[in-house]
Amino acid sequence: MSDFDFDLFVIGGGSGGVRAARVAAGEHGAKVALAEEYRMGGTCVIRGCVPKKLMVFASGFPAAMDEARAYGWQVTAGAFDWAAFRGKLDAELDRLESAYRSGLKGAGVTVHDCRAVLEDAQTVRLATGARVRARQILVATGGRPFVPVFPGSEHVITSNEIFKFDVLPESVLIVGGGFIACEFACILNGLGVKVTQFYRGEQVLRGFDLEARGLVAEQMVAGGVDLRLGADVAAIEKVSGKLRVKAIDGSVADFGAVVYATGRVPNTEGLGLNEAGVTLGKKGEIVVDAWSQSAVPSIYAVGDVTDRINLTPVAIREGHAFADTVFGGRPRQPDHDLVASAVFTQPCELGTVGMTEEAAQKAGPIEVYATTFKPMRGAFAGRGHKVLMKLVVSVETRKVLGCHIVAPEAGEMIQLAAIAIKMGATKEDFDRTCAVHPSMSEELVTMRKPVRMG
Catalytic residues, which ones? 437
CB neighbours of 164 closer than 8 A, spacing ≥ 6?
none
Which regions of 307-423 does DSSP assign to beta strands (E)?
A: 341-343, 349-354, 366-373, 387-394, 400-407
DSSP conformation class of 426: B
Q: Tell me the C-alpha distance between 346 and 180, whole Å.
A: 13
Q: Tell me the C-alpha distance between 254 and 251, whole Å.
A: 11
CB neighbours of 57 closer than 8 A, spacing ≥ 6?
none
R_g of the chain, CA atoms, integer Å:
24
Which regions of 271-399 does DSSP assign to beta strands (E)?
A: 299-301, 341-343, 349-354, 366-373, 387-394
Look at phi and psi of residue 186 and say left if phi exceeds 0, alpha if psi is from -120 to 50, else beta. Answer: alpha
Write the burial class of residue 85 (CB in 10 Å: 0-12 exposed, 13-18 middle, 19+ buried).
middle
Task: Please tell me whether residue 43 adopts helix, strand or coil conformation.
Answer: helix
CB neighbours of 84 closer than 8 A, spacing ≥ 6?
none
Backbone torsions φ then ψ of 74, nearest 5 degrees: -90, 90
Q: Residue 271: name the closest of 48, 18, 9 by CA.
A: 9
Letter for the amino acid at 204?
V
